């Protein structure tokens, strides 16, 4: 694998997209709807008839987020992983990405595996009927993560 520090922003983003996500996106009807490269950052936005997906490179750090078509709120796979674990209980078959530790980050391979292996459930969680409840729970988990990482807000 090429060292990301020797690649440009676009090249590293393209390499990460192609290695981990493009197959999942193509297999599930996602189309590129927007892209932008500027200075030390760049991103691609993909959309299907059921989900928005963003992959971005910000100063060499690749981030991925998803959103319901019915919302402007985007969520990372670390929070989605924690939510799926809670839905299933901790003895889940999904419990292979660091358990329920909100201070740990998934790598891109773990994220793409999580996305691929739970795509039908993610589709259901972010549909028109369920996205508000899903976002409420994801926001709660996000607040828990912020408290763990930065301490509770006083």
Per residue in 11-56, pLDDT (tens digit) is 999 999 999 999 999 999 999 999 999 989 999 999 999 999 999 9
DSSP state of 76: E
DSSP sequence for 17-49: IIIIIHHHHHHTT-EEEEEEEETTEEEEEEE-S
Q: How many domains does the chain have?
A: 1
Predicted confidence (pLDDT) per residue in 62-117, tens digit: 999 999 999 999 999 999 999 998 887 744 444 444 445 677 789 999 999 999 99
Q: Which two tokens stand for residue 111?
A: 């994220």
Query: Which residues form the domain of 139?
Result: 4-150
Q: Which residues of 23-58 are buried (b: 16+ CB within 10 A; e: fewer)?
A: ebbeebebeeeeeeeeeeebbbbbbeebbbbbbbbe
Give the pLDDT confidence score for residue 66 in this predicted structure. Answer: 98
Full-model pTM: 0.86
Backbone angles phi, psi at 139, to 5 degrees: -65, -40
């Amino acid at each position: 694998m090429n060292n990301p520090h020797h690649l440009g922003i676009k090249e590293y983003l393209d390499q990460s997209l192609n290695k981990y996500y493009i197959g999942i996106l193509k297999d599930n009807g996602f189309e590129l709807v927007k892209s932008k490269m500027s200075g030390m950052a760049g991103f691609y936005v993909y959309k299907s008839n059921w989900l928005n997906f963003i992959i971005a490179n910000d100063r060499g750090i690749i981030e991925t987020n998803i959103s319901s078509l019915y919302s402007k709120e985007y969520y990372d796979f670390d929070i989605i992983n924690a939510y799926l674990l809670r839905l299933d209980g901790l003895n889940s078959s999904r419990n292979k990405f660091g358990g329920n530790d909100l201070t740990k980050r998934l790598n891109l391979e773990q994220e793409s595996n999580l996305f691929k292996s739970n795509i039908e459930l993610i589709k259901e969680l972010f549909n028109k009927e369920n996205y508000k409840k899903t976002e409420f729970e994801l926001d709660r988990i996000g607040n828990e993560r912020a408290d763990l990482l930065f301490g509770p807000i006083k």
